[in-house]
Amino acid sequence: MIAMTTLKTQQCEACNADSPLISDQDRQELHRQVPGWMLVEEDGIEKLQRHFTFKNFVQALDFTHRVGDLAEQEGHHPAILTEYGKVTVTWWTHKIHGLHRNDFICAAKTDALV
């Protein structure tokens, strides 16, 4: 059971190669808390992805830097595609080749940067 406290106030936990992938129930519950994110699958790996739009490249780059700072704070890192007026952020947990609670926490924290 996932506590329904606000995701963005939580910290990522250290996870290792044998941490469990998120359960179907927890995925549904946590996805409800970050509804702007798509559940996507790439190379058999489930990920959380969202597109953020901006006026120009400078604003996109500024947001990119702030997402990078968040990643360093959490010790958890996304894939970031930075384009003119658009940033695509994709979260997943590399070491378990899929989604962990940490990815939903970071998605919520990413939303708070906009």
What residues make contact with ligand H2B under the rule CB under 6 A? 75-77, 93-95
Q: State the nearest-atom distance from the C-beta of 97 to ligand H2B, in Å.
A: 9
Tell me whether residue 45 or residue 59 sits nearer to ligand H2B (CB atom): 45
For residues 108 and 90, what is the distance between their CA atoms, to the nearest angstrom?
Answer: 12
CB of 85 to ligand H2B, least distance (A): 25
* Nearest residue (CB) to ligand H2B, 64 versus 93: 93
Could you tell me where the beta strands, DSSP code E, fall in 6-111?
A: 38-42, 45-53, 79-83, 86-91
User: Could you give the C-alpha distances from 58 to 24, 40, 54, 112, 113, in angstroms and in order?
Assistant: 39, 27, 9, 19, 16
Residue 105 CB, shortest distance to ligand H2B, in Å, is 11
**Closer CB to ligand H2B, 75 or 85, in the complex:** 75
